[in-house]
Chain A
Amino acid sequence: MLGIIEALINGILMGSIYGLTAVGLTLIFGVMKVINFAHGSILMVGMFAAYWFVILTGWNPYFAIPVVVPLLFWFGYYMQSFIIKPIFEAEKDVREPITVIIVTTGIWYVLDNLALMIFGAEFRVAKTSVTGQVFEFYEMYFLLPKVIGAGITMVCGIYLYWFLKHSRMGKAIRATSLDREAASLMGIKQAKIYNVAFGLGSACCGMAACVLIPFYYVYPTVGVPFDIKAFIIVVLGGLGSIPGAILGGIIVGIIENVGAQFMAATWTELLLYGVFLFVLLVKPSGLFGQKHDY
């Protein structure tokens, strides 16, 4: 019994980190109606940045946050404005910008394989001061970096939610995601909103990368499993919904960790795909999706 509770809590911890990456994905989708397939690769870029920061300075990995998160924000911002924007504008009136989606997969392949060429395929671990430390709670053991990471991602998620609800920029982003034309008539500069949304989405990945570094391997295709999980999560929670993404992330984390108590870890992956197809079949709008979004 204790084992299952431990797995449950571990699932929530890991799931909240999945949730943060999915929040970035869902934010970009909500605004641009484009699924950013390069999302996992952006996470990979963030993880390599955080890895080298930790290796070169030898500081606590959480000090990397103020460096990596802005870095990734500008990375996403300029990637959108230089690569995606011109293609997006050509297809602005199409309801489903397929060309843009496929370009993001192009970016995925370029980034992943560039990383493979530069850093090689080996798995790297950043030995930090929190790596391997265990946190004990009623005879249950949790990795300390996971607990800290989950805490940080929760704070981020709540802040992001507040930012979108109450700040001026957040309101502009929400207005754009509801109705592009009406938002531009109100004087909102669409191009800038897209850049900022992409930047914020990437910054979410940067944050997730920093909290993953102390306990996760870094390798060039590390983004792919996170990418696929993020896709499952956003469908589970409803495309475009931020609370849905966080809750979906936690559900995926729980399925993965609790499932591993009963079956081999590779089979839990299949269980995830099964849940994904089931949700598509039964309630395609997900937990919090809006009807106009699907």
Chain B
Amino acid sequence: MKQLLNQNPKILLISALLLGALFILPLVVTSPALMQIFILIILYAYFTSTWNFVGGFAGVLPLGHSAFIGIGAYTSTVLFQTFGISPWLGMIVGGLLAAMMGVVIGLPTLKLRGAYFALATIAVGEGVRVLVENVKQVGPLMINGPSGISIKLTENSFSAFQFDSKLPYYYIILAMLLIVLLLTYFMMNSKIGYYLAAGGEEPEAAEALGIKVSRYRLIAMAISCFLAGLGGTFYAQLMLYIYPKSILGLDLSFEIAFIALIGGRGTILGPVLGALLLRPVSELTRIYFGSMLPGLHLVIFGLILIVVMRYYPKGLVEPVKILLNKLFINRLGKQGGPDGTDSAEKAD
């Protein structure tokens, strides 16, 4: 926490302002449709941040994250439908199941070259989708195959995770995102973070220094899958209807990976930036061209990805940071005068 507060005060001020703006946003935006878009932006930022634990820091490329999101969503939903267990509890169970699944996949593959891990996660992602699409029910648990589950509607109730307005959803996902970002921050500055960074760049060199790279990758994988599972439950409760094509399968996995890479993988704010830039693109193309050109937003994503990777292989977070520095921080520094901390600025 100390480290967090030891930053440049201007950056802290700006972040505090942004955070404040996010919290009072619902006062300004009242249209539920617009609110839904904001919620989805934050949700995708959340998904991508959980992806970032593995894809950003561990130096491998997971391409099947929808499997863990789907496990979270289906677990809490099925538990709620059959036994009436509160989705809040189901959320934890789903997260734990997703983490277990992640460890099972990671155990054999995280020791191998990254290519194997990417292939294995794709296969698992597709495998889970095919499995869910083929199962009607397991004992008393209804899965409903490809037609999916619509969640029983209840009154506006906290324990059933169902609300009449979008407002509670907004604050819940905002809190979840902030927690994940804080976790990311602490992980980056902890022993695990340093080990992962070392292992991501040069696994052999890190192993030679006595770091068990695959073990720390496995820890990162478990954390990431657990958090992704929690996000899955939130998605299910937000939409109140889940089906395999929406929450499992390649499209969601790739969208998450694209957002992370375009925003900047291995950075804290990269996923947020990526979601902020890409979600509106996909919402807008879906609204205006959805019927005519069904795949347009994915073409745009792909093209943006290729161009960004060509010119900014580290993602857009770097150029945006430089731009913001030029626009705001320097100006604030000039206004702030004597108490400005960067001496380089004064020397100008």
Interface residues of A, Cβ cutoff 8 Å to B: 29, 33, 35, 83, 86-87, 90-91, 95-96, 98-99, 101-103, 105-110, 112-114, 116-117, 121, 220, 224, 228, 231-232, 234-235, 239, 264, 266-267, 269-270, 273-274, 276-277, 280-281, 284, 293-294
Q: Contact: A231 with B119, CB < 8 Å?
A: yes
State whether B130 touches A110 (Cβ < 8 A).
no
B11 sits at the interface (CB 8 A): no
Q: CB within 8 A of B294: which of A117, A234, A266? A: A117
Is A109 within 8 A of B130, CB to CB? no
Which residue of B63, B119, B120, B302 is within 8 Å of A106 (Cβ)? Answer: B302
Q: What 14 new A-B contacts, CB under 8 Å, besides A86-B310, A112-B298, A113-B296?
A: A87-B310, A98-B60, A105-B257, A109-B258, A110-B299, A113-B298, A113-B302, A116-B295, A117-B299, A228-B126, A280-B112, A280-B120, A284-B108, A284-B112
The residues of B that contact A117 with a CB separation of less than 8 Å are 293-296, 299
A270 to B60, CA, bound (A): 25
Query: Complex Cα distance A186/B122, Å?
Result: 38
A4 vs B111: C-alpha distance when bound (angstroms): 39
Q: How many residue-residue contacts, CB under 8 A, span A and B?
A: 138
Q: Which residues of the partner chain B approach A220 to less than 8 Å between Cβ atoms? A: 295
Contact A87 B108 (CB under 8 A): no
Interchain residue pairs with CB less than 8 A apart (27):
A35-B115, A83-B306, A90-B313, A95-B203, A102-B61, A105-B63, A105-B257, A106-B258, A106-B301, A107-B306, A109-B258, A109-B299, A114-B295, A117-B295, A228-B123, A228-B126, A231-B123, A235-B119, A235-B120, A270-B127, A273-B127, A273-B130, A276-B120, A280-B112, A281-B108, A284-B116, A294-B116
B114 and chain A: residue at smallest CB distance? A96
Residues of chain A with a CB closer than 8 A to B258's CB: 102, 105-106, 109
Contacts of B294 in A (CB 8 A): 113, 116-117, 121
Residues from chain B with a CB closer than 8 A to the CB of A239 are 115-116
| B80 at the A interface (CB under 8 A) | no
Q: How far is the CB of B233 from chain A (nearest CB, A)?
A: 25
The reply to whether the CB of B142 lies closer than 8 angstroms to some CB of chain A is no
Q: B interface vs A, CB < 8 Å?
A: 59-61, 63, 105, 108-109, 111-116, 118-120, 122-124, 126-127, 130-131, 133-134, 202-203, 250, 254, 257-258, 261, 293-296, 298-299, 301-303, 305-306, 309-310, 313
Identity of the chain A residue whose Cβ is nearest the Cβ of B131 in the assembled complex: A270
Given contacts A269-B130, A293-B113, contact A224 B108 (CB under 8 A): no
**A109 and B122 contacting across the interface, CB-CB below 8 Å:** no
Tell me if B116 and A99 are in contact (CB < 8 A). no
B residues in contact with A235, CB < 8 Å: 116, 119-120
The 8 Å CB contact of A277, one of B59, B120, B302, B306, is: B120
CA distance A114 to B122 in the complex (A): 22
Cβ contact within 8 Å between A98 and B122: no
A99 x B313 contact (CB < 8 A): yes
Q: Are the C-beta atoms of B298 and A109 separated by less than 8 Å?
A: yes
Contact of A294 with B109 in the complex, beta carbons under 8 Å: no
Q: How far is the CB of B330 from chain A (nearest CB, A)?
A: 29
Among B108, B118, B261, B295: residue with most chain A CB under 10 A: B295
**How far apart are A243's CB and chain B's nearest CB, in angstroms?**
20
Residues in B whose Cβ lies below 8 Å from that of A294: 112-113, 116
- By Cβ-Cβ distance, the 9 closest A-B pairs, closest first, are A113-B295, A273-B127, A110-B302, A106-B305, A109-B302, A96-B114, A106-B302, A116-B295, A281-B108
Q: Is the CB–CB distance between A106 and B306 below 8 Å?
A: yes
Check B133–A266 contact: CB distance below 8 A.
yes
B294, closest chain A residue (CB): A116
Residues of B near A224 (CB, < 8 A) are 250
Question: Residue of A at shortest CB range from B254?
Answer: A105
Q: Complex: how many Å from CA A285 to CA B250?
A: 25
A98-B114, A273-B127, A280-B109 are contacts. A267–B313 as well, Cβ < 8 Å? no
Q: How far is the CA of A18 from the CA of B150 in the complex (A)?
A: 38
Q: How long is the Cα–Cα vector from A233 to B161 in the complex, in angstroms?
A: 44
Contacts of B61 in A (CB 8 A): 98, 101-102
Given known A-B contacts A87-B309, A102-B257, A102-B309, A35 and B119 have beta carbons under 8 A apart: yes
Contact A103 B299 (CB under 8 A): no
The CA-CA distance from A114 to B301 in the complex, in Å, is: 12
Contact of B118 among A35, A87, A113 (CB under 8 A): A35
Residues of chain A within 8 A (CB-CB) of B124 are 273, 277
Closest to A292 in B: B113
Do B63 and A29 have beta carbons less than 8 Å apart? no
B contact residues around A99 at 8 Å (CB): 261, 309, 313
Q: Do the beta carbons of B299 and A270 come within 8 Å of each other?
A: no
The CA-CA distance from A224 to B63 in the complex, in Å, is: 14
